[in-house]
Amino acid sequence: MLPTLFETPFTPAEFRTALTSLARFETRPFIAVAVSGGPDSLALAILADRWARERGGEICALTVDHQLRPESDAEIRRLRGWLAERAIRHQILVWAGEKPASGIQEAARAARYGLLAQWCREHACLHLLAAHHREDQAETHLLRRRAGSAADGLAGMSAIRELADCRVLRPLLGVAKARLAALLDAERQPFIIDPSNRNPAFERSRLRNHDGTMAAGPDLETLLAKIRTLGYGRAARERARDALFARAVTLHPAGFAVLDPGPVLAASHELAEGVLSAVAATVGGGLYPVRRERVARLRRNLAATRKGHTLGGCRFIAWRRRTLVVRELAAAAQPVRLNPGMGFWWDRRFDVTFPSAASGCLTIGYLGQAPVTELNRRALRLGRGSLPRLLHPVLPAVWDADGLVGVPELWFARDRVTALPRIVFRPANRLTGGSFAVV
């Protein structure tokens, strides 16, 4: 067991207070809990299970098998047995396929949250609990500080994180790891220790002692107080940024944004750059935030010239005293062949669903990715109020073997076409989300 000297177990009453301070729940709550088998997530599962049962609800423990270690199968079988003894429902989600040769921890984390969120969507589960505790918060801050993160990054993890399919809650962010270990001691509950958590090849592991606790460093309480102060500052900045979004940014379901540069450029440099970065992330669908120096350069260029600019897989185009933010075709996903009944997420921006009743295959891509001869051959029949022509190249379109079939956002479909795919703008990076929450 982990050292628990002088520590009292974290109690169900304290957990109830921590959880209900974050969110409101159904009368009979249904909650997913990410459980690796380690001490922190097992303690969370025990507490969440008791809390849900008291209210006539239930939890489902979700374990992601990353298939990175040969012993993981045996560990998951042990975990399943422990959870079964407590009558806790358990689902195993497998990260299948080839794994990257580098950046494995980052890739595993992305895959893990993708699988967890997908399960929540498929089972209509609104809440996903994660077991990050106060030492995790301190480690996150220190890692980001070493990487040169700005103030928002140094605020650490939010107690609430809004995903497209569920809401991640971290009710243990203010709880000492040793108190969770003390709870397991009191419950006589064994747990699994993942050796990768002690592998010095990973930077987070180098911040820990051999027993998994934080290595010597800044005074923990002082550091946590600083992180909380940074968190409150981040929350205030997010409120100001959301107010600026409401005044200056309009998102269109065709996947582009209209930006009023006046209010943005009148704001502080930090606030303006936060808005520009968020718009680029939403329209461009990038995996990672755009570098700060590039965002600052865009802000300066927008103030000095009306010429077009690129950032984060987007083009910023001056148009009628506004700025259009559109997908950069050179950075966009390639066209994809659609079979009847197929559904998928395309270019990290669009949900595409093709009816099973369709009579044949189609291809989806951006209109500007079509051969020029094809565009010249098909004259689009546009009605009043159609989108400006400079936007046409970045609109989703579909083709078959005979040529262009339809452009939904232009209300164009070829004669006698009975089934077009349903294309819904659902960007990977939403423009706004739940406010940063501090515990």
Residue 129 pairs in a beta bridge with: 33, 169
Q: What is the mean pLDDT of the chain?
A: 89
The predicted model gives 159-183 an average pLDDT of: 94
**What number does CATH give the domain 244-330?**
3.30.465
| Domain layout of the chain by residue ranges | 12-217, 244-330, 332-425
- Separation between Cα atoms, residue 63 and residue 86, nearest integer Å: 16
C-alpha torsion sign, points 283, 335, 287, 343:
positive
What pLDDT, on a 0 to 100 scale, did the predictor assign at position 197? 57
What pLDDT, on a 0 to 100 scale, did the predictor assign at position 1? 44
Q: Range with the lowest mean pLDDT among 94-103, 140-149, 339-348? A: 94-103
> Does residue 67 have a pLDDT over 70?
yes
Per the CATH hierarchy, to which homologous superfamily does domain 12-217 belong?
Answer: HUPs (3.40.50.620)
> Does residue 396 have a pLDDT over 70?
yes
In this prediction, what percent of the chain has a pLDDT beyond 90?
A: 68
Hey, what are 51's tokens?
Answer: 């809390």
pLDDT interval class at 371 (50, 70, 90)? low
CB atoms within 10 A of CB 381: 10
- Separation between Cα atoms, residue 19 and residue 52, nearest integer Å: 11
| pLDDT tens digits for range 274-323 | 999 999 999 999 988 888 899 999 999 988 877 789 999 999 999 999 99
Name the burial class of residue 303, with classes exposed (0-12), middle (13-18) and buried (19+) by CB atoms within 10 angstroms of its CB.
exposed
The predicted model gives 335-343 an average pLDDT of: 92
In this structure, the dihedral spanned by the alpha carbons of residues 198, 199, 204 and 207, taken in order and rounded to 10 degrees, is 60
- Whole-model pTM: value is 0.79
What pLDDT, on a 0 to 100 scale, did the predictor assign at position 403? 86
- Separation between Cα atoms, residue 203 and residue 157, nearest integer Å: 17
What pLDDT, on a 0 to 100 scale, did the predictor assign at position 212? 53
